[in-house]
């Protein structure tokens, strides 16, 4: 992002509704380009079905939605957690029946979409929430649905945004999604040149993707042991544990019985695994 200033409040604060609303109230939105990002424009230009169900989570000022409407798309949903922003968007798109504007937490949203556009939403979430992001994306997409957009291929000294790498993204999304495309973006804006990957992830509808809360892990070594134990369960295809050790994402051929998961980690009595909900 070069010298772009992203936040009016330091990243030690909770990145909650109050935090994000403060950015829009103060009009300190350094991530905002003032126009649609070129890679997203390219993605939209290559879409064929003007009636496909499109979601843009963490939508910001919604230049992508504007361009979609201008391009003839008819079924667009944008959502954000910041009330000030959503009020502005409601006024901006007043009377337009091709777009729905929703104020809500992405993780509580319900719906079915053919395409979810990823544009500076993933990178705004604390890394500990990435397993939950994959879980929710898989829920919201239709069986043939896709995530398309850009992710950062770099780390940042000041957060948000939070960076990452192709290797991390593959480990996180594999098996739940087919990675159709993940390559260095060729038309990023200059401050983001060589630091973005353009992605297309297609939902794998033939697997179970479940999120669990976990208690007892205290270090990366413990995390690796737990991950290995869970991965050995028949039918488990991928295991990903959050950076704070509190969430476990499991992709499997079918949902694994909770008693089998608990038994796999019962070698340490402090380990407890439970099914996660949208609120935990």
Q: 229 and 214 in contact (C-beta within 8 Å)?
A: no
60: left (phi over 0), alpha (psi -120 to 50) or beta: left
In 3D, which of 147, 142, 255, 256 has the Cα closest to residue 205?
142
Q: What is the CATH number of domain 208-275?
A: 3.30.70.100
- The answer to whether 180 touches 216, Cβ cutoff 8 Å, is no
pTM, full prediction: 0.93
The 3-state DSSP class for residue 169 equals helix
Q: Which fold has domain 17-203?
A: Rossmann fold (3.40.50)
Which is it for the CA torsion 104, 158, 162, 231, positive or negative?
negative
Q: How far apart are CA 109 and CA 98, in angstroms?
A: 19
Cα 4-123-56 angle, rounded to 5 deg: 105
pLDDT tens-place values along the chain, 280 residues long: 343 333 333 344 589 999 999 999 998 887 889 999 999 999 999 999 999 999 999 999 999 999 999 999 999 999 999 999 999 999 999 999 999 999 999 999 999 999 999 999 999 999 999 999 999 999 999 999 999 999 999 999 989 999 999 999 999 999 999 999 999 999 999 999 999 999 999 999 999 999 999 999 999 999 999 999 999 999 999 999 999 999 999 999 999 999 999 999 999 999 999 999 887 7
Domain ranges of the chain: 17-203, 208-275
């Amino acid at each position: 992002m070069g010298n772009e200033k992203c936040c009016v409040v330091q990243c030690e604060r909770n990145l909650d509704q109050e935090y994000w609303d403060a950015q829009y109230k103060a009009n300190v939105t350094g991530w905002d380009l003032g126009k649609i990002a070129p890679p997203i424009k390219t993605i939209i230009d290559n879409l064929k079905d003007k009636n496909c169900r499109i979601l843009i989570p963490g939508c910001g000022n919604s230049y992508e939605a504007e361009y979609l409407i201008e391009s003839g798309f008819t079924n667009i949903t944008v959502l954000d957690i910041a009330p000030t922003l959503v009020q502005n968007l409601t006024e901006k798109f007043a009377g337009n029946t091709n777009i729905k504007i929703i104020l809500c937490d992405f993780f509580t949203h319900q719906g079915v979409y053919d395409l979810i556009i990823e544009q500076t939403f993933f990178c705004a979430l604390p890394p500990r929430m990435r397993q939950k992001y994959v879980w929710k994306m898989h829920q919201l997409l239709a069986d043939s649905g896709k995530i398309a957009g850009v992710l950062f291929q770099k780390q940042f000294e000041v957060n948000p945004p939070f960076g990452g790498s192709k290797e991390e993204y593959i480990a996180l999304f594999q098996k739940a999604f087919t990675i159709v495309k993940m390559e260095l973006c060729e038309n990023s804006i200059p401050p983001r040149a060589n630091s973005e990957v353009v992605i297309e992830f297609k939902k794998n509808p033939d697997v179970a993707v479940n999120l669990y809360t976990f208690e007892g892990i205290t270090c990366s070594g413990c995390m690796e042991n737990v991950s290995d134990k869970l991965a050995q369960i028949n039918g488990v295809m991928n295991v990903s544990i959050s950076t704070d050790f509190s969430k476990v994402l499991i992709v499997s051929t079918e949902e694994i019985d909770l008693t089998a998961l608990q038994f796999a980690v019962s070698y340490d009595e402090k380990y407890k695994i439970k099914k996660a909900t949208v609120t935990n």
